[in-house]
Structure 1
Amino acid sequence: MSSASPPAYHATAQRPEWSALPARLRAAVATRLGAPVVQARTAGAGFTRGFAALLRTADGRRAFVKAAPHAEQPHLVDWYAREAAILSRLPAGLPVPRLRWTLWEAGWFVLCLDAVDGHTPRLPWEQVELTATLTAFTGVAEALADPPAELTALGLPHLADLAREDILWWGEVAAGREPVPPLPAPARGRLAELVALESRLPGYAAAATGLTHGDLRIDNVLVDTTGAAWFCDWSWLCHGPAWFDLVTLLISGYATGLDVDALFAAHPAAADAPDDALDVALAALAGYHLTAATSAPPTASLHLPAHHRWTGEHALAWLSHRRTWT
C-alpha cells in the first residue's frame, strides 16, 4: 500500500471567487435569488475550475450556485447543463440537493441548488459517517434500479461504452500505446491478468438494467449537521450496475484500513454482482487512475493528478491483496 497521505478532499478545488465573476452575472444571480448576495463561501472540494459557492443573501436565505463560462470552459458548461437536466428528473425524496433554477447570462451557464449545510467525510472514515453514507446509497441504488422514463429519456450514456472509450487502459499499456505506470512489486508481471480482468467490465456493465451515479468519490458526498449523507455532482449518471459506484466509494475505505471486502459483500448493491465484479472494477479503475495521473488538463485543479495517483495505487493494492499477488 502507498504511504502517501490522501488528498485533502475538502480543499482540492481551484475556483474563481464570487467577486471575480462578471458584474452582470452577479447581478442576474442576485435577481434570481431575490436579494443581494452578502456572503459567498467558495466550495473547497472538487477538481474543476468552475465557480461553486454557498451564497447567502441579505434576507438570510442560502443557495448553492455553480457556474462556468462557455467561451473558456464549454465542456464544463455541458457537464453543468447535463447535471441540471438529470437533477430535475431524479426520483423525489433522494438525498440529492434539489435543483432550483438555471440561467444564461454574460456567456455563463448557472445552476442553483438547495444549500446543504455539510462537510466532505473525513479520512480515515469515521464509522458513523461511513454507515450514513452506505445507508443513503442503498436508497439511491434502489431508486435507480428502476429509473423513471423521463430520466432514461435523456439518452444517458452506458457505462459499457464509457469503459471502452475512456476507462480501460491496461490493454493500451500492453499494446505499447501508453507507458507503463509505476507499479508496486506485487503487481509487476501481472499485466496480462490486469488486461483480462478489465476487459470483462463492458460485458458486466451492459447486463445492468438500472442507472449508476458514475462518479461516486468521497468528495461527492456531503454529511450534513444531522449526520445524514447527501450525494452531489450528477453529471456522469449512466446505465450501469450500482456495484460499480460501491467500488469507487470504498477505495478510500481500503486506503484507510477498513474491511472493505466485507462492506462490499454485505451491501445490497452488490447482491447481484458477478463473483469477480469487485476484482474487475478494481483492475479497470486502477488502470484508469494511474494512467490519468500523468497530467491534468488546464481546466482542472492542479490537485487532480494526486487524486488519480492515490486512488489508482489503492485500487491496485486492494486488488493485489484480494488476489494474493506477492
Structure 2
Amino acid sequence: MPTVLAHAVETCLGSPIVDFRDVHGGMTPGPAATLSLDNGASAFVKAMSKGINARSYELYQQEAAVLAVMRTGVPAARLWGIVEVDDWVALVMDRVPGTAAGPPWTNGAVAAVASACAATAEVIAPAGVPPVLGRLPDLDGWTKLAAEPDDLTGWEIRHVDRLAAATSGWRTWTAGRLLTHQDIRADNAIIDPASGTAVLVDWGCAAAGAPWLDRALLAADVVAAGHAEGPEVARRQALELLLGEPSEASRFVIAQAGMWRRNSTLPAHPGMPTHRAWQRARADVLQPLIEDLLAVIGS
C-alpha cells in the first residue's frame, strides 16, 4: 500500500498505526491487514488500485456503498470509512475476531454460516442496494455451452440439454426484496471461536433478491471448496441445505456451475492468472451434486 494511502487510513481511524498483520485469502489481488492502533483499538483495512484490477476496485466501491446503509442485525462488520487517494481505494472497518470458515468446511462452520445467511434473509434490502439482476453474473452458461459442443466433456455432452433447461428463467426467479450477500464462500465468512457465530465479509455483490439465494450459494461452496470429512459429507450437507427450499434454489446451484464452467473458457482476468482454473475445478467437482439435483427437480 502506498505510504500516502496508509497515512490517509490513519487519519480516518484517528490514531497512528503501531502494528499490522497481513491477511491472506480471498480473490482480489490487493493488500489486506488487521491494524493495531496507538489508542489501543484495532481495525481491518483492505485496498485496491484501479490500475491493478479495475473490477476489484469497482467491487470495493460497491461494498462501501452497501456497508454504509447496512441495517442492524445483519452479520456484517461496521464500516469506519472509505479512503481514496489517486487510483487507490481503501475500506476501513471493524476487525472481526476469529478465522475463516474454511476451506475446508466443517460441520460447525456450515451451521454457523447457514444461520448468518438466514439472519440476512430476514432483512429487507436497504434503499440503495440494487436488485439482484444487476449484481448476478451471466448464468446462461449451460445454454451457451450447449451451442459449443466441441468444448464439452463426455459428462457435459450427456447432460447439457437438461442443465440448460433447468436453469432457464433465472432472471425471473432470483428476484426479490430481501438482502442477499451474493458471494457466500468459506473465505468470506469469519467464525468467532468464542460464540461459534459467523460474520459475513466482502459485501461488494450484495443485492435485493430471493430469500434462498445465499443458502444455495452456501450449498454450492460446501461441495466446491470441500469438507474436512470428505466429498460425501459435503454432498450430503449441500442437499440438506437445499431441503425445504423451492426448486429454484437447486436450479441456481446448477446455474452457478454452468457459469463457472463457461467462464473457465474465457481469457484470464488481469492480475488473476489462476482464476479460470479455479472456476473449472469448481464446476467439475459439483457434477455429482448436480446429478442429485436433476433427479430432485425432475428436469
Name the residue aligned to 2:57.
77
1:257 aligns with 2:232: yes
Q: Deviation per CA, 1:80-116: give whole Å up to 9, x if none.
A: 1111111111111221000011122243212101001
What SS is found at the alignment partner of 1:39?
A: strand
Q: What is the distance in 1 between the residues matched to 2:268 and 2:68?
A: 31
Q: Deviation per CA, 1:12-46: give whole Å up to 9, x if none.
A: xxxxxxxxx22211222223223332322222121
Q: 2:269 aligns with which of 294, 297, 304?
A: 297
1:282 aligns with 2:241: no
1:199 aligns with 2:168: yes
* Corresponding letter in the other structure for 2:130: L
What SS is found at the alignment partner of 2:70?
A: coil
What SS is found at the alignment partner of 1:56?
A: strand
What SS is found at the alignment partner of 1:45?
A: coil
Q: Deviation per CA, 1:276-295: give whole Å up to 9, x if none.
A: 32331122111111122345
Q: 1:121 aligns with which of 97, 101, 118?
A: 101
Cα 1:38–1:215 shift into 2, 3 Å = same
Q: Identity of paired residues, percent? A: 27
Q: What is the distance in 2 between the residues matched to 1:112 and 1:129?
A: 26
Name the residue aligned to 1:6.
none
Q: TM-score, normalised by structure 2?
A: 0.85
Please list every run of at least 4 consecutive aligned residues from structure 1 whose deviation after the TM superposition is greater than 4 angstroms.
none
Q: TM-score, normalised by structure 1?
A: 0.79
* Coordinate RMSD, CA, aligned: 2.4
* Corresponding letter in the other structure for 1:217: R
* Corresponding letter in the other structure for 1:219: D
The alpha carbon displacement at 1:139 in A equals: 1.0
Name the residue aligned to 1:16.
none
What SS is found at the alignment partner of 2:43?
A: strand
What SS is found at the alignment partner of 1:32?
A: helix
Unaligned 5+ segments in structure 2 are none
Q: What is the distance in 2 between the residues matched to 1:71 and 1:191?
A: 38
Name the residue aligned to 2:281.
310
Unaligned 5+ segments in structure 1 are 1-20
The alpha carbon displacement at 1:262 in A equals: 2.2
Q: What is the distance in 2 between the residues matched to 1:242 and 1:180?
A: 35
CA contact (8 A) 1:285 1:315 kept: no
Q: What is the distance in 2 between the residues matched to 1:308 and 1:62?
A: 35
1:148-167 to structure 2, matched below 5 A, reads 151-152=126-127, 154=128, 156-159=130-133, 166-167=138-139
1:96 aligns with 2:76: yes
* Corresponding letter in the other structure for 2:31: F
Q: 2:206 aligns with which of 230, 237, 248?
A: 237
Q: What is the distance in 1 between the residues matched to 2:12 and 2:45?
A: 11
Name the residue aligned to 1:15.
none
Cα 1:179–1:234 shift into 2, 3 Å = farther
Q: What is the distance in 1 between the residues matched to 2:64 and 2:213?
A: 23
1:125-144 to structure 2, matched below 5 A, reads 125-143=105-123
User: May I ask how many residue pairs the two structures share in their alignment?
Assistant: 285
Q: What is the distance in 2 between the residues matched to 1:236 and 1:179?
A: 33
1:20-59 to structure 2, matched below 5 A, reads 21-59=1-39
Name the residue aligned to 2:217.
248
Q: What is the distance in 1 between the residues matched to 2:144 and 2:89?
A: 36
Q: What is the distance in 1 between the residues matched to 2:212 and 2:34?
A: 31
The alpha carbon displacement at 1:257 in A equals: 2.6
The alpha carbon displacement at 1:123 in A equals: 4.2
1:13-24 to structure 2, matched below 5 A, reads 21-24=1-4
- The range that moved more, 110-119 or 121-130, is 121-130
* Corresponding letter in the other structure for 1:283: I
Q: 2:184 aligns with which of 213, 216, 219?
A: 216
